[in-house]
Amino acid sequence: MAATRKKQLECDVLFEHQDLLALTLAHPQPRKQPQSRTLKDGTRLTLIDSGILAIEPLRPGDSDIVLSCGVHGNETAPIELVNDLVNAIISGELVCRQRLLVQLGNTEAMVKGTRGVQENMNRLFSGAHARGESNPEKARAALLEQTVRDFYNQSGRKRFHYDLHTAIRDSQREKFAVYPYRPGRAWSIEQIRFLAGCGVETILLSHSPTTTYSYYSSNEFGADAFTVELGKVYPFGQNEMSRFEACRKQLSRLIAAQPLEYPPLAQSVVFDVCQVVNKHHEGFRFSFDDAQANFSEYPPGTLLAQDGDTEVRVGAVAESIVFPNAKVALGQRALLTVVPTAIDDRFE
């Protein structure tokens, strides 16, 4: 009885204080039962679990939209951005006209202000959470997957998943998105232009399967899904939110089924992922400075990293580095390299 009262209270608190993030940080642990409330216009809000909220209008448009953030707990700007959108919906300031699933990903890491607690949650999708001994992060990744699976329960609807992140280091291109490998499906020009309308004008085309969240939704449900890097990591309250205004406005338009901003395609720059460098030895080290910015370019033949006896070198054309991190766990990705590419017949 007492437990039931507490659950109801949590959902009522969300309605009363209109702050999903505050509620989530106060109660980051798994909940037992979903709780629903209805807005004045009939839109149904279901708090499925801590930080996981489904928003379903009475007569939704043609799209099922997943917005996830905080899969890395210290990447706070996207969490604050998504929280603003949710709270605007609860207060009635923003009318939600599409089915929307919001997920604040790694709630325990958010409380701690860390990227992860035991491991990198963005390597636990597509079932990777089921390998090895269980832990709270694996359980959470399984729950996130399941709620997406439940959410995409109707065929014939458009499916979108924007998994919002911020990067650890400076970047020569502040905002960029990783477009997951999608064999047999053309890259979408409309999506590239949609992202440019979010201020994300750099796109990296991935050419191999991964265990990231965006690949999961893309691969299993045919969603237009992306890992979107919106800037650099800062603690809660220290983000310059004006830098995310274009993204906030575009996502608001998407949610409200308003006309979207589609800048000309020429505004976007597209790269192919060239090398995916996984770390195999504890002594893995880069030959460049640790603080080197994303998209720094190196000429052909440059030694980038040493991993045991293996040298990682730039190939026959110049390559730029993205996400270098020598501290990742063994077997995980320590670096991507990318090369500029044309928008050609692989796109439609």
Ligand X SMILES: O=C(O)CCC(=O)N[C@@H](CCC(=O)O)C(=O)O
Q: How far is CA 209 from the centre of its chain?
A: 16
Q: How far apart are CA 273 and CA 91, in angstroms?
A: 42
Q: Which of 119, 229, 240, 261 is catalytic?
A: 229
Contacted by 320, from Zn ion, ligand X, none: CB < 5 to 8 Å by type: none
Contact flag: residue 252 with ligand X (CB under 6 A): no
Taking CA atoms, 177 is separated from 62, 78, 131, 276, 299, in Å, by 24, 14, 28, 16, 24
Shortest Cβ 177–ligand X spacing (Å): 8
Nearest distance in Å: CB 78, ligand X: 11
Does 72 belong to an annotated binding site? yes
**Is residue 229 annotated as a catalytic residue, yes or no?**
yes
Q: Which residues bind Zn ion (CB under 5 A)?
A: 72, 75, 165
Nearest approach in angstroms of CB 72 to Zn ion is 4
Shortest CB 311 distance to ligand X, Å: 22
214 is an interface residue for ligand X by CB under 6 A: yes
Query: Does residue 72 touch ligand X according to CB under 6 A?
Result: yes
Interaction between residue 168 and ligand X (CB under 6 A): yes
Among 162, 176, 284, 323, contact with ligand X (rule: CB under 6 A): 323
Report the residue number, 92 or 209, with the smaller CB distance to ligand X: 209
Q: What is the DSSP string of 173-222?
A: SSSEEEE---TTSPBPHHHHHHHHHTT--EEEE--S--S-HHHHHHHHH-
In order of 22, 74, 92, 303, the CA distances from 80 in angstroms are 10, 11, 18, 39
Binding of ligand X at residue 275 (CB under 6 A)?
Answer: no
CA angle 217, 28, 70 (to 5 degrees): 40
Nearest distance, CB of residue 122 and ligand X, angstroms: 3
Tokens of 333: 């990705």
Any idea what the Cα angle at residue 198 is, between residues 180 and 123, rounded to 5°?
30
Closer to ligand X by Cβ: residue 74 or 98: 74
90 binds ligand X (CB under 6 A): no
Pairing of strands 176-179, 224-232: antiparallel
Q: Of 134, 176, 198, 205, which Cα lies nearest the Cα of 347?
A: 205
Interface residue with ligand X, options 48, 94, 178, 254 (CB under 6 A): 178
Does the annotation list 75 as a binding residue? yes
DSSP state of 102: E
Strand partners, 298: 319
Closer Cβ to Zn ion, 72 or 175, answer by number = 72
Interface residue list for ligand X (CB under 6 A)? 72, 122, 165, 167-169, 178, 212, 214, 227, 323, 325
Active site positions, annotated: 229
| Residues contributing to the annotated binding site | 72, 75, 165
| Residues contributing to the annotated binding site for Zn(2+) | 72, 75, 165
